[in-house]
A and B are shown apart, each in its own frame.
Chain A
Amino acid sequence: MLLATTGISKSFGGNQVLKDISLGFEAAQIHALLGENGAGKSTLMKILAGIYQADAGSIMFEGSPASWKKSSQAQRAGISLIPQELNLAGHLTVAQNVFLGTENSTWGLLKDKQASATTAQLIREYNLDFDAHDRVSTLSPSQKQQVEILRALVRAQKVLILDEPTAYFSDRENEGLFRMMRQLRERGLCLIFITHRLEELEGLVDWVTVLRDGACVLSTGHANTTVPQILSMMVGGNIERIFPEKTRTFGESCLELRQISLPGQLQNVSFSVRRGEIFGLGGFVGSRRTTVAELLFGLHPRYSGEVLIDGKPATLQNPQQAMELGIAFVSEDRKTTGVFPHLSVIQNLSLLSIDRCSGRFLISESREQEIATQMAGQLKIRGGGLDRPISRLSGGNQQKTILGRWLLAEPRILVLDEPTRGIDMGARIELYAWFDRLAREGYPILMISSDLYELEGLCDRVAVFREGRLVKILEGTEIQRGNVVQYAALG
């Protein structure tokens, strides 16, 4: 056993987040750590990486007890945590980033050549598709993750903890990272892999551990378990239906794109969405699905072709025009384009309907509170006072708040870009029920998703994109994960 914990417990201010965790991690193993948000995964990983200290219990590393007080001590011993928000300097090259903090120098001058050569050798060894001299800001998210791993490798690490490395990229990009992970396993490293995407486990991981409410509820070889078993362990109980039944009825076409092109991005995209329909857009990252959504929200005014809303030609030159036409757009990246961290939950909800809470000049705070509280109640937004900053809420509740903000603006068409990314299963199921309910109320819903289960389980039709073209619209029983991947990859 390379690394083992015995009876680890941890509390924050009377709130016990880890209860008596005893786990073993082997060398040459990829160990998946699963669980809902708030299950304690991150806390456990931070204890292993020396960022937090356990209240009780012990850690054994390479046969001797370890009690790291700081992450630098754990790193010196050979354990690195690669965080989800990567710590790379975008303006520096790959080699400079890899050696950042451990530069070799003579007389104060950096040995840049040596660093580049070592980095280039590693890149060849792992067959990576970037160069030691590339600026990190020009790399894709998955390549950046690989740079982080290289960084850990030059420090001769034995355990790498990857915190949701794939949350921000899509299947094809994953493959590069997964290949690298398998190579690292062959060299005897232990990789602890946190993920929310269960489809990634197959063919990659050796061991599966599930945490729920701070306790370890399952820890077994991957071969001994199944996806449904893992899911029910995560949620705690049987998950009868994650997705609502597809028994919706459709009205007439409400949103129609005709031969939409955007230089260098989209080519002749045509489809139409009916009232009451959940229309999915599938494809890899870089297939320009988000461009379609942004275009509908007036963020790409230079398109050619025609957009019809309720049969009438629509001009979409800026977001204000799109909003007047009733388009609501829940954007892909909650943190950078969704929440207003300084505003309260109420203010985040009411922002787009502030005119409805105002008299001639002034906002009526009681009216604002009334409509926001009502929406928060309907969407079951949880996590403490609604008058506190939205940054205190979990990702799922933040996402509900953004959805609520748009619903309060009384739109007629919903455009949702990756609406459930990074959200735990419980909140997901609630959101799916909401999308179903909104569709039944007659909203046409256009939904981009990289989650294949979601496309299959929720959508009435799925348009698969590849490099800016719509290659196939899947309907009915054709909507299967395999088909989506096949069309997305091969066209």
Chain B
Amino acid sequence: MKILYKFLPYWSLALLFVVFASTAPNFLSPLNLAAILKQSSVITIMAIGMTFVIVAGAIDLSVGSLMALSSIFGTMLLAFMAAGSDHPWLAIGAGLILSVLAGVAGGWINGFTISTLGLPSFIVTLGTLGVFRGIALYITNGIPVVDLPREFGWLAEGELFRLIPIPVVILVVVASVFAVALRKTRLGRYTLAIGSNYEAAVYSGIEVSRYRTYSFLVLGGLAGLAGMIEASRLITGQPTAGEGYELRVIAAVVIGGGSLSGGEGSIAGTIVGAFIMGILSNGSNLLGISPFVQQIVIGVVIVAAVAIDNYQRRWK
């Protein structure tokens, strides 16, 4: 029983996989499986960052807006440098770095505001959700950034050894780095401690503001990275990209066992949570289930995941 509860997200993912594999045509085709991974990668990468924030006992609602804003900075630099240049890859690298840095800066604004004003992260990031989106729309005048080199598409559509999609490669690297960071570094341990008992962390002399801000920096940087992958799909920088992503990102963490009151959550769980949502929507598409119904199902899954988690806690 205990094993069943403890690894519930994993069992659920396996079950979904089996169900769709046996009912949905072409579900198991390599092309479709690669598509699921590719489609889930943007949300999953951000959800990895969100795991840090949620484990620290905070929340970030601005992540979708920040993703768009960072990618606007990134693609604008990319368009500027690539224009009339023979080195598109240099421009792509520079754009990618700027996007990540912009994301980190946005995360710092969130973390700094929360610490200095002593406000709940929910309120501050509800504000920056609008602020970041507004800036992205303002500086582009609402018009997407185009004229990007065709090579930029590699980030979303390229393949390593003509087999593994590039977004999946990025996802694997990001997941490994941050899984180790959460489990085996001081940063991770302090993040866990702050989320487990904020007051006790203060009384243990942990620099709580600093370490909580770090979790927002991690999420911001990963939002910048995810934003460039998203932009690369259409080879355009969209100021309206990522609307509503914050909820999917948070849902991934929660389905994967993260607790919104802090102190609990894992990178592996989060990835499974994101894949559960990815497989649900892919499989339903193949079965011809209306996307409206999918929304209903995902909503129910989120509530059920938390309800079972709650029940299990009382039960043990």
Contacts and interface: CB of A to CB of B under 8 A. Distances in A.
A199 B226 CA distance: 65
B295 interface: no
Contact of A341 (B185, B197, B205): B197
Contact of B197 (A320, A339, A365): A339
A12 interface: no
Given A362-B185, A365-B184, A343 B193 contact: yes
Contacts of B148: none
A343 B203 contact: no
Given A342-B263, A343-B192, A347-B189, A336 B202 contact: no
Interface in B276-297: none
B264 interface: yes
A338 B205 contact: no
Which of A340, A354, A362, A405: most chain B CB closer than 10 A? A340
B146 interface: no
Interface string A320-338: 1011000001010000111
A171 interface: no
Interface string B263-275: 1100000000000
Contacts of B195: 342
A355 B200 contact: no
Contacts of B207: 320
A323 B207 CA distance: 12
B200 A340 contact: yes
B196 A341 contact: yes
Interface residues of B, number: 21
B184 A363 contact: yes
B263 A340 contact: yes
A362 B207 CA distance: 19
A282 interface: no
A241 to B, nearest CB: 32
B311 to A, nearest CB: 18
A238 interface: no
B14 interface: no
A361 interface: yes
Contacts of B185: 358, 361-363
Which of A339, A341, A342: most chain B CB closer than 10 A? A342
A297 B202 CA distance: 10
Which of B184, B197, B200, B201: most chain A CB closer than 10 A? B200
A351 interface: yes
B204 interface: yes
Contact of B193 (A331, A337, A351): A351
A276 interface: no
Interface in A291-338: 297, 299, 319-320, 322-323, 329, 331, 336-338
A341 B199 CA distance: 12
A352 interface: yes
A363 B200 contact: no
B139 interface: no
Nearest to B186: A354
Contacts of A355: 186
A358 B186 contact: yes
B189 A354 contact: yes
B307 interface: no
A87 B239 CA distance: 50
A337 B205 CA distance: 11
A338 B189 contact: no
Contacts of B184: 362-363, 365
Nearest to B205: A319
Given A362-B180, A362-B185, A337 B202 contact: yes
A340 B196 contact: yes
A204 to B, nearest CB: 34
A361 B183 CA distance: 12
B54 to A, nearest CB: 13
Interface in A349-407: 351-352, 354-355, 358, 361-363, 365, 405
B245 to A, nearest CB: 28
A299 B184 CA distance: 29
Contacts of B192: 340, 342-343, 347
User: Nearest 4 CB-CB pairs, A to B?
Assistant: A342-B263, A319-B205, A342-B196, A340-B196
Interface of A: 297, 299, 319-320, 322-323, 329, 331, 336-343, 347, 351-352, 354-355, 358, 361-363, 365, 405
24 contacts: A319-B202, A320-B205, A336-B197, A336-B199, A336-B200, A338-B203, A340-B192, A340-B197, A340-B200, A340-B263, A341-B197, A341-B263, A342-B196, A342-B264, A343-B196, A347-B189, A347-B192, A351-B189, A351-B206, A354-B189, A358-B186, A361-B185, A362-B184, A363-B184
Given A329-B203, A337-B202, 12 more contacts: A297-B203, A331-B203, A337-B197, A337-B199, A340-B263, A343-B192, A343-B196, A351-B206, A352-B204, A355-B186, A363-B185, A405-B204
